[in-house]
Structure 1
Amino acid sequence: MNWTLEVICLPVTDVDRAKQFYGGKLGFTVDFDSQQGDVRVVQVTPPGSGCSIAFGVGIMDEKTEALRFTGRPPMAPGSLQGVQLVVPDIKAAHAELVGRGVEVTGIQVYGQNGVRPYTDGDQLDNVGFFFFTDPDGNGWAVQQISSRG
């Protein structure tokens, strides 16, 4: 049995602002923006990804069937942390987001001796990361993986 991750639901306060950030600033493809009654769903997909991001009204709140089923409260906007994007060239991805006006951390190297800033010549495959947040504070990591074992 294959299980594929297709959609991550993202809690946001302002659907149009989130759509502008993900579709405009980050350059994700806006797959659709649909409203039926009081439910609005926007789905965006990072270039090259098989997994999309969905946000809207009526998909992460008390109207959501899955939340009623589990008895769990909805996630607050900004509470999703650690969603990770993978790129083959982290320096190029970092430069692209900086060029788009996204506030990002510097590139960091995670190794046996802890975390340190990237310096020229560092190997970054699997250990190079940078981070950013969306307008609500949902936290994203970007990791370089150019080959898999």
Structure 2
Amino acid sequence: MKKLIIINGPNLNLLGKREPMIYGSNSFEEFFKKLKNKYADDFQLEYYQSNIEGELINKLHEVGFNYDGIILNAAAYTHTSVGIGDAVKAIETPVVEVHVSNIHAREEFRHVSYIAPNAKGVLFGFGLQGYELALQSFL
């Protein structure tokens, strides 16, 4: 069974409460439970969230050599953190970058990703469904 982790960055703990017109009305925890149950036969699936850049880097280092896949939504750090981009480049585990919103339909600074050049793939604009699409890429 493949071991995967979803890592979410800043403010994603507010999904379901924060800007529901952009991010929807479901919490990530509710969505994760459904996802975990749906793919219980295929994956050992874990979830981690932090609002702190260094904690996200530490988690990438921790799982980046012994997991089969990482689904990463670094949120705003995607566009600002060279450190997270470098962490993704330094690890061996493939990473799929995910964003709930269409980052290219938002502010111009969000069009740049420090993660994408070292990611297996990038999904954005599909809401929470993007996480499931990323998960399916590891089947």
TM-score when scaled to structure 2? 0.29
Q: Which has the higher helix share?
A: 2
TM-score when scaled to structure 1? 0.28
- RCO higher in 1 or 2 (8 Å CA, sep ≥ 6)? 2
User: If you compute each CA radius of gyration, which structure gives the higher value, 1 or 2?
Assistant: 1
Q: Which has the higher strand share?
A: 1
